Amino acid sequence: MKPFNLVLIVSILLAGCAPTTVNTPTTSATVTTTLQNETSIPTQTVVLTSTSTPIPIPQAPQWTGSVAPSLPTDGGVENRVYQSGRDYIFEVSTDGTIFQYQYRPSTGSLNDLRLKIGGGRSFLPSNFGGPSIFISGIEIPPWEFASNFQMSHNEPIVTGNSLEIVWYARSGEQTISYTYRFSLMGKTLTLQVDSDSTDISEFTLDRSEETPGAKLLFIPYLSTFNVLQYQDHFITAFFDWTKSEASSVTGLSSTFSDQSLYFGQTVRYIANTKNIRNPVHETVYFTVSDVLREVFPNIPNPPSPYREVLANRVILDMWEGISFDTDKDLLELLRKKNIKDILFIEHVWQKCEYDNCYPEVIPANERLGGDSALIELSKTARDAGYLFALHENYVDIYPNASVWDPDVVALNPDGTQVNAWYNESTQMQSYLLSPSRIFDFAMVYSPEIHRRYGTTASFFDVHTAANPSYKVDFNAEVENNSRMSFTFSEYSKLLAYARLVHEGPILGEGGDHFLYAGMVDGVEAQYLADESGSSSTTPPIVDFELLKVHPLMVNHGVGYYERYFSRFESQQWSGFTTENIYNYMATEIAFCHAGFVPSPNRLGGASNWIEQVEREVELVLPIQKECALAVPLNILYHVNDEFVSVEKALIADQAWQVFVEYDSGLQIYVNRHASENWEVTPSSSQSWVDYSALVNGKRKDYVGNENLDSYILPPGGWLAVLP
């Protein structure tokens, strides 16, 4: 692959656009390049002016621990591994209950693994999980091993709390071997799978079997797999995304029968353009517990250094594509109203409009006012004390960009270019910029965006929204090709780089963002809906977000309005009612997210937009300031006039009314029930309250030191109390 002409980008980027004056030290370098297009252009000499010393690419992520589920303490749990007849037993004793993972080597698949809880009947957590093997161009799944292979294994080796077994799948003259290493820690059975063979194309965790009455639990923000609720127990099965060598790690979520559900994951090892696969290296965690939080994965990322900054900001998100002068007028109006503590994102500003010509975004769009007007908008924001961010994207590259080069596009296994976003309005297909080449563009555009427009934050589109499994380059000429982990690493490094460039927090798009928690400082926290099809009608189960994500980042909102109120693929773009808006704010408060306000057109115009900014600043911001850096001590749900654990709320299917107590003393009550009011009587005296409640039958919003004996919270109502 030919090296990319980085100087070509610089020449195009600087051509015909005078740099702005900045109060930062600069260095100059003279560079020479040949600009290439349909006509011959002679070699030009341009002067590249940049801010100080170029910022180096950060190192790959450094994990701070394991993603394996963990217990709050090690006390009260005993593990032992022993053999009983043909079975190897991995036993967990805790609180009077015994969990047994029972392994009987027979098929070479995970059909050999059963789970027994207490005195109940054992069942299959991974019915025919295991490897799929390519033989003579045919993929053989694990449930067809018996009819296609002669299966054998060595004598299992038991050492302490672990067992190692090597399996051999023989077909004619060909033998594929793979190794299982089981080990037990806490309530988690770990399975490490390794093979030197490049003929294993998949490893699936398949589905449960013999689990009548089980149900899939959708947990907001735990986006890549589900929790299986079976009787009064909770089970997860997932791959360690920090150790996987697979091309993709994707979730399974469906019902096979009344006693069998897909709830785990599958990894795929996809051949590259030279038809070569990576050898298998995977770590799987099976965890069972009566306590929901004990089956959640850990997120071993360092916390964001901008949590305190974002705890004190409401996010204004401008997508309209109206003139920069109009946006400036809106900010000036907010300033005159003495509205502070804002982070303003300008999404539509690019040279060729939104979702077009990427990554070529400079100079700013002339229809909207060009560079001079965008610079004035930035200055207005900064003069008001607001953080100012522009939209960036180093995932999509468009063929109509001056910097287009097919050699930087990721390839499918068949050698075709990987499609990325399709812009329906322009009918322009973009392509996936190879993760190995993102810094070719980011190191030019990001510093120049910061230099010209005085950014104090940035918004990175797509990177944190999509499972990195869907952004993989299979080009055999690229180092680390066909690996999801490489995409994950490069995107993580990019976020760290952008944080240094813009000298402020990096925000992103919500979706699969828990993987990047702390590496990105905050996202518009979209969560996918459960079977209802709408986030707004999905129970606000806050436990995973507050216990695992919240300590690492400060998210904002609960997704774009059109997504939060959507049903499946049908998006609502306008016409949001006052009750819709209270539902949205109540959900922000339940998850302790920063306030978020969409574009004026989502809310019916500028006056409604100003009103909603005032609501978020006056009502949500005071609560987020108290909870964003605090640690949740108690998370309870109001069910049948009692405060119960999330486990009991889920079993009762009534997780709509939430109570959270933080170590700061803050207590929050949120009613997300669709139709029922909730009467709340605080357990202690109140020095400060923030509520949206019914007073004399009408909704009243209040922040201050007013004390009431009780509060009636309507749907979309809340009460925050400081004792």
E strand segments, 15-172: 26-33, 44-51, 77-84, 87-94, 97-103, 113-117, 130-135, 138-140, 150-153, 157-159, 162-171
For residue 649, what pLDDT is reported? 97
CA–CA gap between residue 67 and residue 185 (Å, rounded): 13
For residue 451, what pLDDT is reported? 97
Number of structural domains (the chain) is 3
Q: Report if residue 25 sits inside a domain.
A: no
Number of H helices, E strands in the chain: 14, 41
Q: Report if residue 30 sits inside a domain.
A: no
Print the domain residue range for 669: 632-722
Q: Report if residue 49 sits inside a domain.
A: no
Strand partners, 177: 168
CATH number of the structural domain spanning residue 643:
2.60.40
For residue 29, what pLDDT is reported? 31
CA–CA gap between residue 10 and residue 514 (Å, rounded): 35
Q: Are residues 401 and 429 in the same domain?
A: yes
Residue 391: which of 502, 555, 307, 488 has the closest Cα?
502
Strands 387-392 and 342-346: parallel
Look-up of token digits 């005085």? 454
Domain boundary among 240, 266, 295: 295
Residue 522: which of 490, 495, 503 has the closest Cα?
495
Residue 707: which of 680, 695, 689 has the closest Cα?
689
Contacts of 654 (CB under 8 A, 6+ apart): 637, 639, 640
CA–CA gap between residue 323 and residue 327 (Å, rounded): 7
Mark residue 660 as left, alpha or beta (left: phi above 0; alpha: psi -120 to 50; beta: remaining): beta
Residue 607: C-alpha distances to residues 236, 574, 612 (Å): 47, 15, 9
| Torsion angle of C-alpha atoms 554, 558, 563, 566, degrees rounded to 10 | 160
CA–CA gap between residue 174 and residue 423 (Å, rounded): 48
Q: Are residues 285 and 410 in the same domain?
A: no
Q: How many CB atoms lie within 10 A of CB 527?
A: 28
Quick: pLDDT tens for 9-20.
Answer: 555 455 444 333
Q: Are residues 692 and 579 in the same domain?
A: no
CA–CA gap between residue 345 and residue 332 (Å, rounded): 15
Contacts of 522 (CB under 8 A, 6+ apart): 304, 306, 310, 315, 505, 507, 508, 553, 554, 555, 556, 594
Strands 44-51 and 77-84: unpaired
CA–CA gap between residue 199 and residue 171 (Å, rounded): 13
E strand segments, 269-362: 281-289, 314-318, 342-346
CATH number of the structural domain spanning residue 279:
2.70.98
Across 173-199, b (16+ Cβ under 10 Å) vs e yields eeebbbbbbbbbbbbbbbbbbbbebbb
Residue 412: which of 274, 273, 268, 246 has the closest Cα?
273
CA–CA gap between residue 676 and residue 699 (Å, rounded): 14
Residue 365: which of 380, 347, 383 has the closest Cα?
347
Q: How many CB atoms lie within 10 A of CB 534?
A: 16
Is residue 265 within a helix (H) or strand (E), and if so which, with residue range?
strand 265-268
CA–CA gap between residue 161 and residue 184 (Å, rounded): 6
Q: What angle do CA 693, 695, 698 make, to 5 degrees?
A: 85
CA–CA gap between residue 524 and residue 391 (Å, rounded): 13
Half-sphere exposure of 434 (CA within 13 A, CB side): 26
Cα 27 to chain centroid distance, Å, stands at 38
For residue 32, what pLDDT is reported? 29
Q: Are residues 289 and 308 in the same domain?
A: no
CA–CA gap between residue 438 and residue 88 (Å, rounded): 48
263 neighbors 225 (Cβ within 8 angstroms): yes
Tokens (6 digits) for 142: 């694990």
Look-up of token digits 């070569």? 276
Q: Are residues 328 and 281 in the same domain?
A: no
Which one-letter DSSP state was computed for residue 616? Answer: I
For residue 574, what pLDDT is reported? 86
E strand segments, 544-602: 596-597
Give every residue of the chain whose pLDDT is below 50, as ranges. Answer: 1-3, 7-8, 12, 15-51
Q: Are residues 580 and 614 in the same domain?
A: yes
For residue 438, what pLDDT is reported? 98
Residue 637: which of 599, 686, 598, 673 has the closest Cα?
673
Determine if the peptide bond prior to 359 is cis (ω within 30°): yes
Determine if the peptide bond prior to 600 is cis (ω within 30°): no
Q: Are residues 400 and 521 in the same domain?
A: yes
E strand segments, 475-587: 506-509, 522-524
CA–CA gap between residue 632 and residue 625 (Å, rounded): 14
Q: Report if residue 21 sits inside a domain.
A: no
Q: Are residues 575 and 657 in the same domain?
A: no
Q: What are phi and psi of 473, to 5 degrees?
A: -100, 125
CA–CA gap between residue 124 and residue 78 (Å, rounded): 23
263 neighbors 195 (Cβ within 8 angstroms): no
Q: Are residues 353 and 315 in the same domain?
A: yes
CATH number of the structural domain spanning residue 554:
3.20.20.80
Residue 716: which of 683, 668, 667, 675 has the closest Cα?
675
Tokens (6 digits) for 147: 């009819």
Q: Report if residue 496 sits inside a domain.
A: yes
Q: Report if residue 284 sits inside a domain.
A: yes
Residue 557: which of 521, 594, 530, 592 has the closest Cα?
594
3 state SS of 177: strand
Domain boundary among 247, 270, 295: 295
Q: Are residues 670 and 686 in the same domain?
A: yes
For residue 640, what pLDDT is reported? 95
Q: Report if residue 549 sits inside a domain.
A: yes
- One DSSP character per residue, 350-408 reads -TT-TTSSTT---SPPTTTTHHHHHHHHHHHHHHTT-EEEEEE-SSEE-TTSTT--GGG
Tokens (6 digits) for 599: 């574009």
Domain boundary among 627, 658, 677: 627
Q: Are residues 215 and 97 in the same domain?
A: yes
Residue type, 249: V
Q: Report if residue 196 sits inside a domain.
A: yes
Three state DSSP letters for 76-121 = CEEEEEEEECCEEEEEEEECCEEEEEEECCCCCCHHHEEEEECCCC
Strands 596-597 and 314-318: parallel
589 neighbors 689 (Cβ within 8 angstroms): no
Residue type, 628: A
Residue 494: which of 197, 61, 137, 11 has the closest Cα?
61
Q: Are residues 289 and 331 in the same domain?
A: no
CA–CA gap between residue 389 and residue 507 (Å, rounded): 9
For residue 534, what pLDDT is reported? 83
